[in-house]
Amino acid sequence: MANKIKEAKPDNIEIVVYQNVGHAFGVGRISGGYFMGGQNELNKIALTKSYEKILDYLQIWYTKEELPTLIRD
């Protein structure tokens, strides 16, 4: 299971950073769009509107059962 290591919630942005087996990534939402970033991309997070793309990305490290705890509305 992932350990939540950092969380920030300004008005219109939500950023959650998790760490698992030495890998860190961020997942969140900006103005209705989703974004994500891998360990080497936390400073250049890519914007995307595809929730499914994020789920596919996260399944590199997490099971479908764990994902609901990582992405929330």
Each residue's pLDDT tens digit, 25-59: 555 554 444 445 444 443 333 444 455 555 565 55
Q: Is pLDDT of 17 > 50?
A: no
Split at pLDDT 50, 70, 90, the class of 15 is very low
Q: Return the number of other C-beta atoms located less than 10 Å from residue 31's C-beta.
A: 7
Q: Which domain holds residue 27?
A: 3-70
The candidate with the shortest Cα–Cα distance to 33, out of 16, 49, 51, is 49
* Beta-carbon-side half-sphere exposure of residue 37 (alpha carbons within 13 Å): 15
- Whole-model pTM? 0.26
Domains in the chain, number: 1
- Mean per-residue pLDDT of the chain: 48
Split at pLDDT 50, 70, 90, the class of 13 is very low
